Structure 1
Amino acid sequence: MSNLLKRSLSGIIYVLIFLSAILISKESYIALTSLFGVLCIWEFSKLIDFKGIIGYIFFGLTLFLMLKRPDNYAVAVILGITLLSSLSLIYYLFVKKEVTFSNDRSKLGLLIRYPIFSMIFLVFLPIYQGEYNPYLMISILIIIWVNDSFAFLVGKNLGKRKLFPSVSPKKTIEGFLGGLVFALIAAIIIGTFNDDFIIGNWLIIAFLVSVIGTIGDLIESKFKRQANVKDSGDIMPGHGGILDRLDSLLFAAPFVYLYINFII
Structure 2
Amino acid sequence: MKTRAITGFFFIIVMLASVLLGPYVFTSFYLLLSILCLHEFYKLLRQSNLSPNLPVGLLNGVYIFIAVALTFYLQPPVSHKLLLLITITSCLVFATELYKKSETPFTNIGFTYLGLIFAVVPFCFFHALGFIGTSFNGHYPMAFLLMLWANDTGAYLTGRWLGRTKLFERHSPKKTWEGFFGGVAIAALVGFIISIYFQELQWRQWVSIAIIIGCVGTTGDLVESMFKRSLNIKDSGGILPGHGGLLDRFDGLLLSAPIVYTYLYFITN
Give the TM-score normalised by structure 1. 0.84
After superposition, give the CA deviation of every residue in 1:66-100 in whole Å (9 maximum; x if it has no partner): 222248797xx99xxxxxxxxxxxxxxxxxxxxxx
- Residue 222 of structure 1 aligns with which residue? 226
Alpha-carbon contact 1:47-1:223 (below 8 Å) kept: no
Give the one of 29, 34, 58 matched to 2:31: 34
Cα RMSD (Å): 2.0
Instruction: Kindly tell me the number of residue pairs found equivalent between the two proteins.
Output: 237
**Which residue of 2 is the match for residue 5 of structure 1?**
2
The DSSP-based 3-state class of the residue aligned with 1:202 is helix
2:190 pairs, out of 166, 186, 192, with: 186
Give the CA deviation at 1:58: 0.9
* Aligned mate of 2:59, from 57, 60, 68: 57
1:241 aligns with 2:250: no
Letter in 2 for 1:140: F
1:1-264 aligned within 5 A: 4-49=1-46, 50-70=52-72, 103-264=107-268
- Partner of 2:234, secondary structure, is coil
Contact kept in structure 1, 2:4 and 2:241, CA below 8 Å? yes
Deviation at 1:12? 0.6
Partner SS for 2:175: strand
Identity %: 33
Aligned partners of 1:220 and 1:247 also within 8 Å? yes
Q: Is the 8 A contact 1:161 1:172 kept in 2?
A: yes
Residue type at the aligned position of 1:37: S
1:87 aligned partner: none
Greater displacement, 102-111 / 161-170: 102-111
2: CA distance, partners of 1:64 / 1:35: 11
Q: Which residue of 2 aligns with 1:86?
A: none
1:171 alignment partner, SS class: strand
Structure 1 residue 236 displacement after superposition:
0.3
Tell me, which stretches of 5 or more residues in structure 2 are unaligned?
Answer: 47-51, 85-104
> Shift of residue 51 of structure 1?
4.2
Instruction: Tell me, in whole angstroms, the C-alpha distance in 1 between the residues paired with 2:193 and 2:267.
Output: 22
Distance 1:151 1:11 in 2: 17
> Which of 1 and 2 has higher RCO (CA within 8 Å, sep 6+)?
1
> Hey, what's the Cα distance between the residues in 2 that align with 1:249 and 1:192?
24
Distance 1:241 1:28 in 2: 22
Query: SS at the partner of 2:142?
Result: helix
Amino acid at match of 2:253: L
Q: Distance in 2 between matches of 1:210 and 1:250?
A: 13
Give distance in 2, aligned partners of 1:45 and 1:262.
34
Amino acid at match of 1:66: V
Superposed displacement of residue 124, structure 1: 1.6
AA matched with 1:243: L
Please give the alpha-carbon distance, in whole angstroms, between the structure 2 residues aligned to 1:167 and 1:205. Answer: 26
| d(CA) in 1 for partners of 2:134, 2:238 | 36
Q: Distance in 2 between matches of 1:166 and 1:27?
A: 42
Shift of 1:157: 1.2
TM-score, reference length from structure 2: 0.83
